[in-house]
Structure 1
Amino acid sequence: GRRGAPTHRRRWLALGVLLAVTGLVIAGIGAAMVRSSVILAGLVLGELGLVFATPTLVGLLARLGRFLPLAPRIAVRDASRNRSSTAPAISAVMAAVAGSVALGAFLASDDVRADQQYRPLLPRQTVLVTADDPDATGPPDRAAVTAAARDHLGAGSVAPLVAAGCRTNFDACVVSAVAPPDQVCPWRPYESISEADEQRARADRRCQWPAEDHLDGYVQVAVDDGAALPMLTGATPAEVTAATAVLRAGGAVVTDPRYLVDGRVHLRVEDDKRETGEATTTTVPGYAVRSHLRPSWLLISPAAADRLDLAVRQTGWVVEAAEPPGQRQRDRFVDALEYLGPVGAQFELGHGFTGTEPLLLLLAGVSAVVTVGAAGIATGLAAAEGRADLSTLASVGAGPGVRKLLSLCQAGVIAVLGSLLGIVAGLGSAMIILTFTNRRLAEGWPVEPPYPLLVPWLTLGVLVVVPLVAMAGAALLTRSRLPVERRLD
């Protein structure tokens, strides 16, 4: 006496497919046109198309029941008979999963992009120990710094860190290397320029650099005779030998080869307190050490500092650890320096922590709550609707585990199908959004690296487990005893 499954309405399937394809095309056009509103309209249409097609997909899934064992066969046929409750539950799961996957893919891509853009300030094994107020206290005691570095960092090399400044007012000086005009972009990054100038900048060879690599005159400056050079720049032994010879000859070393012209470096000193506003300049022998550090380093020899009439002051020590120090080593080293007074230690920690993993797990958790809730509600409705089937199963000798297995399969139909549709929709949305973002970056200036197209494996890993949790929960919370009802005709 059970009612049969409703007939498949092909017009709903046709409408759903049409909306999904149309939405995909519109979103693709929006990404090509760099129009966010067009992309949003396309994604909404595509999602609606999947919602409209869900009931028919459930009906098509029920046709596979003839090839399945008893419990999953009843589950897929019940889902088909009760599409009015099953389809909304699947659509809810799909929407939650799609949003989590799309946002998770964007965050994962942004994390990888930030890691690719990261430029360290120091080599990983280098530690700077500086006094907070070198004017009053001078540099930290070398013997104490060396002992602490040897005990906690396994350090073997310690060199003085010497700064340069004006004789009248030490901190009023700006010491920099001057790049040749054919290497300098006429426009400064992130300044307001016209659209025509942006187009010229994108076409200018001198401007084809990320913002942090534009030659804006800011460099890290130290006075050195070659002792601190390998630790500050991470140069190879061959580079250290050549660069040390240049420093001892009264020259300067840079870590950006664009500052080097015909083997010489042009140096400039600007004094903020000087009333005339004129800068002191000189040209000295130079050497370029190729380094990925940012900001770049400018190491000038003591002789070059004298030619520029600069005062020199030791502010601390450069320490080379045996290996990149871990958190425990860093803490112990800092604790060992506490008795020296106001002393700071600078480490290069890299770009290891970004904070996106907790957010990805939170997004997956929200989807998990929606998935489990929707599967639980729909499974409960299906159990109430199929009570007569359970009685029939009991009367023909079905075992107690059949009811649990049936609930497991009913929850699985909703959770698995909704999650699969959501993952497909989410990945498609993420690819469109990232393509749109990359095209917008390509049309802007200064040059920005594109977002890589990545799959959020962390989010997907959680979402793959969630349907299994929903199925296991449905089985555990279902009574194994099958009902036996007396029927009076």
Structure 2
Amino acid sequence: AASRTSPTGVLAGVALGELGLVFCTPMLVGLLARAGRLLPLTPRLALRDASRNRSSAAPAISAVMAAVAGSVALGVYLASDDARSQALWQPGLPPGNMVLIPTGGPVTGALPGADVVAERVRAVLPDATVTAVADAVCARRTGPDDYCMVAAVRPPAERCPYGPYQEGPGSTRHDPRCAQPFREPDDVSLPTLVDDGGALAALTDAPADELAAARRALAAGGVVVTDPRHLVDGQVRLEVAHSPDGRTTVRHLPGYVLRGGLPVDRLVLSPAAAATLDLTAEPMGYLVDTAEAPTARQRERLTEDLSDVLELSAQMATAQPPSNQRPLLLLLAAASGVITLGAAAVATGLAAAEGRRDLSTLAAVGADPRVRRVLSLWQAGVIAGLGSALGILAGLGSAAVILAALNQRYAQSWPVQPPYPLTVPGQTMTVLVVVPLMAMLGAALLTRSRLPVERRLD
């Protein structure tokens, strides 16, 4: 079912597997009881009692197994999804850098100078540098709906013949023209910028020698790109789409490729190149290059200090996506732990009530009073330990099947998506391993050590 990406089949298979383990639990208890012949007295008695009273032990073990299996399966899925999200995460700026954008849309008139903003920024972030940035817009607008979009494109013969999510006839995945060297930014997305090179460091974090060469190219009236495929014989093909008339103009301008730094598809125009394309620079905000990532409190204070100059929102690029899976994983582990403790307590109490004659016999032959505590410890260990072990195996197996079905679906998609890794959450597994030990310790501490002596009447 997983190989055919059938959700109904996968769920049916997982359910049948769980039921199969439930039905096999009495047999497993019997096999363990036979293997217990080589064990010391108290664990051998605990296994024998569980085997003799399978009608009460097996349901308790199955309850623990079901709770642990569900917790492990869901925990593995959440951890795998979180790991995949982190692997796919692509910041739009070097992590820790920020962009300050006016709130409420474009600002009429000129923005405050970068030095005015930098003075307030350095009061909060002493080592930060601030650079004003502008995006490329139509030089001559006839109405509010007029806008221009400029992009660096490859020559027509080198472009992928298929659009996104449009599968070609068999060879699309292996066509080098359809390779995607960059991912779209997940946090901060910036348009095509018009700059003289001052913002390149905060924008790309490229090596110093490449930044110097890029600034020279911009000073000469060229453009800077990050995709090497856009530079052909020293020229970059630029297409400007005009709206609402839908016309497109094409120009070839000298360019430079920034090969180092942030792996994001970026296009930066020099003021001269923008004028050649009949575009102009419109101030859009400020780039803040930080020495280390500011805290949430620092960002809040920064926007408060800048409010008397201009209402700005601060967007910071992060190296990893925000994740809130840890509380849910701990909650799942705690829920299964409570069920494990409850089932172990009930089964241990029943086993102690049914084993009073054995305890009386031990007392009659002079057994150590601590035997009763140790016996309760092992009786709880049989229920909680066996149920947790089966639950962990069942949960890992179920999660592996579900992830395999999802990965099979991604393997058949275009563009190709990275698969889910099988990630085992360490915190959840630690809790599930510790809980049986807690059940055993609790059973030993809450059991009276005095062995009962019963008088028989013939």
Match of 2:45 among 74, 90, 97: 74
The answer as to 2:97 corresponding to 1:122 is no
What do the CA deviations read for 1:431-470 (whole angstroms, capped 9, x no partner)? 2322232222112222111112333322211111111122
**How does 1:109-188 map onto structure 2 within 5 Å?**
109-132=80-103, 133-136=105-108, 138-166=110-138, 167-168=140-141, 172-188=147-163
* Equivalent residue, structure 2, for 1:401: 370
Secondary structure in structure 1 of the residue aligned to 2:429: helix
When normalised by structure 1's length, the TM-score is: 0.84
In 2, are the aligned partners of 1:89 and 1:375 still within 8 Å (CA)?
yes
What do the CA deviations read for 1:132-170 (whole angstroms, capped 9, x no partner)? 355336324534422233232233532221222123258
Structure 2 Cα separation of the partners of residues 304 and 315 of structure 1: 19
* Equivalent residue, structure 1, for 2:248: 279
**How does 1:50-449 map onto structure 2 within 5 Å?**
50-132=21-103, 133-136=105-108, 138-166=110-138, 167-168=140-141, 172-190=147-165, 193=166, 197=168, 199=170, 201-209=172-180, 212=183, 220-273=191-244, 275=245, 277-290=246-259, 293=262, 296-449=265-418
* Equivalent residue, structure 2, for 1:24: none
Of stretches 161-170 and 70-79 in structure 1, the one that deviates more from structure 2 is 161-170
Structure 2 Cα separation of the partners of residues 94 and 361 of structure 1: 18
Structure 2 Cα separation of the partners of residues 96 and 367 of structure 1: 5
- Percent identical among aligned pairs is 55
In 2, are the aligned partners of 1:164 and 1:223 still within 8 Å (CA)?
yes
Secondary structure in structure 1 of the residue aligned to 2:267: strand
In 2, are the aligned partners of 1:182 and 1:206 still within 8 Å (CA)?
no
Change (3 A) 1:302 1:344: same
In 1, are the aligned partners of 2:97 and 2:316 still within 8 Å (CA)?
yes
Structure 1 residue 379: Cα displacement: 1.0
Of stretches 377-386 and 362-371 in structure 1, the one that deviates more from structure 2 is 362-371
Structure 1 residue 243: Cα displacement: 0.9
The answer as to 2:5 corresponding to 1:31 is no
Structure 1 residue 352: Cα displacement: 4.3
Change (3 A) 1:436 1:134: closer
Structure 1 Cα separation of the partners of residues 261 and 403 of structure 2: 27
Gaps of 5+ in 1: 1-29
What do the CA deviations read for 1:332-365 (whole angstroms, capped 9, x no partner)? 3233223223112221123242222222222222
The answer as to 2:447 corresponding to 1:478 is yes
Structure 1 residue 120: Cα displacement: 0.5
CA RMSD of aligned residues (A): 2.7
In 2, are the aligned partners of 1:250 and 1:301 still within 8 Å (CA)?
yes
In 1, are the aligned partners of 2:369 and 2:449 still within 8 Å (CA)?
yes
Secondary structure in structure 2 of the residue aligned to 1:346: strand
Structure 1 residue 82: Cα displacement: 0.6
When normalised by structure 2's length, the TM-score is: 0.89
Of stretches 181-190 and 219-228 in structure 1, the one that deviates more from structure 2 is 181-190
**What amino acid sits opposite 2:114 in the alignment?**
R
Structure 2 Cα separation of the partners of residues 360 and 156 of structure 1: 38
**What amino acid sits opposite 1:299 in the alignment?**
V
Of stretches 75-84 and 262-271 in structure 1, the one that deviates more from structure 2 is 262-271
Q: How many residues align?
A: 451
Secondary structure in structure 2 of the residue aligned to 1:92: helix
Secondary structure in structure 1 of the residue aligned to 2:149: strand
Secondary structure in structure 1 of the residue aligned to 2:107: helix
Change (3 A) 1:469 1:42: same
Structure 1 Cα separation of the partners of residues 301 and 184 of structure 2: 35
Change (3 A) 1:331 1:481: farther
What do the CA deviations read for 1:397-445 (whole angstroms, capped 9, x no partner)? 4454332322221111011111111212222222232223222211222
Structure 2 Cα separation of the partners of residues 486 and 437 of structure 1: 65
**What amino acid sits opposite 1:261 in the alignment?**
V
In 1, are the aligned partners of 2:182 and 2:264 still within 8 Å (CA)?
no
Change (3 A) 1:438 1:287: same
What do the CA deviations read for 1:49-70 (whole angstroms, capped 9, x no partner)? 3333322221222234443333
Structure 1 residue 213: Cα displacement: 6.0
Structure 2 Cα separation of the partners of residues 342 and 103 of structure 1: 43
Change (3 A) 1:483 1:374: same
What do the CA deviations read for 1:369-410 (whole angstroms, capped 9, x no partner)? 221222122111111111222333334444543323222211
Structure 1 Cα separation of the partners of residues 112 and 360 of structure 2: 85
Structure 2 Cα separation of the partners of residues 481 and 124 of structure 1: 65
The answer as to 2:432 corresponding to 1:463 is yes
In 1, are the aligned partners of 2:90 and 2:184 still within 8 Å (CA)?
no
